[in-house]
A and B are shown apart, each in its own frame.
Chain A
Amino acid sequence: MNVAAKAAAPSAAKDAQVVLSIRNIESFYGPIMAIRGVSLEVREGQIVTVLGANGAGKTTLMKTISGVMDPEKGQIVYQGQNIAGANPDKVVRAGVVHVPEGREVFPLLTVEENLKMGAFTRSDTDGIRRDHDMVFSYFPILAERRNQAAGTLSGGQQQMLAIGRGLMAKPKLMLLDEPSLGLSPLLVKEIFQIIRRLNREQGVTMMLVEQNAKVALEVADYGYVMELGRIVMADAAERLLQSKDVQEFYLGMQTEESQRGQKRWKQKKTWR
């Protein structure tokens, strides 16, 4: 990997404008507080990833941004405008599109109709046609299967369709929730390459929620780590990749001097 280029990119992005700024968000599932005062920033042109284990509140955070859930407290400022508690259609019109976890395509509609629904909030026929061709150029398999019902596609193709459908809404900021879920390592690689290309070539700012920390940090510029509804770490992606804690808890690496490794080693010794 070209180290100089990778180091240069985030510093350039640092001067970029803040597109999304979240301040002290609190969200509830009934009586359970799923997000406990989260603040974060996404800058224009960046890929920002939010890492964390199951139940850390990553998906809830995404749903709160896209307006499917309303926050109890706090502000979500997108391009200078507070969108906390706005309806999803207003958020989509503003240019924030959520690609949900687990694909969630419309199973009985064709690929073509699914894409058409992605552009539901738009009425610029020419722009829609251009984006439609753009989606097919990134995902040629979708063009091949354009008249097939989306429910009959494979998992990877459905994920591509979900991303393509999201692109049809002409997002400035795309919220990607677990795009690697349930896909083979090869497909994960392919999808993330496309995500990177979309970010570079189409200028779509991405906010990426992942459990697969390694893949996410490799494409991301900046990363946040969530635990039990709070942000516990925030740093440039390559620094997070180097961080001991992230390596141990999210990348599954074990170094000799790590806390966990040492304890286990000691335990083994006493057993002997």
Chain B
Amino acid sequence: MDVLQLIVSGLANGCVYGLVAMGFVLIYKATEAVNFAQGDFMMLGAFICLGLTNPQFMGLPFWISVPIAIAAMGAFGYALDLVVLRRMFGQSQVAVIILTIALGFVLRFAAGLIWGHEPISLQTPMAGKYVRFGGLVLGLNELIIILVTVALTVILYFYFNRTKLGVAMQASSQNQLAAYYMGIPVKRIHSLIWALAGMVAAVAGILFASKGSIDPSIGLLGIKAFAAAVIGGFGSLPGALLGGLIVGLLEPFASRYIAAGYSQIMPYLLLFLILVFRPHGILAQVHQKKV
């Protein structure tokens, strides 16, 4: 029974990692840059929702502040690309990566200034509620995390494969020049991808905050999500989710069966092994261009 509970809580954690990892992959696929502030995007999304919901700040109803927080992070991502990153068009990817690392620090301290560095918990209607299946007791928030992640994955799948704009996003990430030739507005597509990454990060952040208290340094979880993205296959959205789930499941079992000091190494040990034996990740999208 408690194995099942470990699985559920591991899956819930893994969903959050997977969503952040998807943010990494979205931006990497479209712009070939890695957004190391993705974890801090998640933190910011969580804090915006918290700032809107909690009574000591604005005290709006939870179900109103969630869409506002998601929309705000979408606008943030779009504006970031429009105002900052579009000016760096044509510069090396390293410049963009360093910029995102710096941005992560800025966001962390800005959030600290606004909401304080002490851990606060988001007041959700799900908090402290449990669902019982026979003898099994599961946190309602964990079940909701899993359901929301599944729903979001399905939505993203349909978006990228069935809508014109989604296919255009795929197209411009596969062959940017050809996308220009076909009249696809590649720069606007980049901004929209950043917006999408911001929105996914906000969902991840709100889900994460529903499990416990948050402080501005939770963005460092992004490193684990980055490992998850690499394990799953950097450049593949299903891979990112799979990698997240693997890391999420690995953690509770490792901490249960392996001595405390070693258990936290496990995700990175797995990352190491994957890089050695399957360098493109589990679900890699590798293709060769024909001449």
Contact = CB atoms under 8 A, between A and B. Distances in A.
Instruction: Decide whether A and B are members of one complex.
Output: yes
Interface of A: 66, 68, 87-89, 91-93, 97-100, 102, 104-109, 113-114, 116-118, 120-121, 149, 151, 153-155, 158, 165, 169, 182
Nearest to B183: A92
Nearest to A122: B183
A155 B290 contact: yes
Contacts of A107: 174-175, 287, 289
Given A107-B287, A120-B183, A158-B290, A100 B178 contact: yes
Interface of B: 164, 167-168, 170-171, 174-175, 177-185, 285, 287-291
A107 B288 CA distance: 9
A158 B182 CA distance: 16
B168 A120 contact: yes
Given A104-B177, A151-B287, A151-B289, A109 B182 contact: no
B175 to A, nearest CB: 5
Contacts of B185: 87, 89
Contact of B171 (A97, A109, A154, A155): A109
B164 A108 contact: no
B182 A120 contact: yes
Contacts of A68: 177, 180-181
Contacts, number: 82
Contacts of A149: 287
Query: What does DSSP make chain A's interface, helix, strand, loop or mixed?
Result: mixed
Contacts of A114: 171
A102 B170 CA distance: 20
Most buried by B among A93, A118, A120: A120
A88 B180 contact: yes
Contacts of A109: 167, 170-171, 174
Contacts of A66: 181
B171 A104 contact: no
Contacts of A98: 181
A85 to B, nearest CB: 15
A104 B175 contact: yes
B171 A117 contact: yes
Nearest to A93: B183
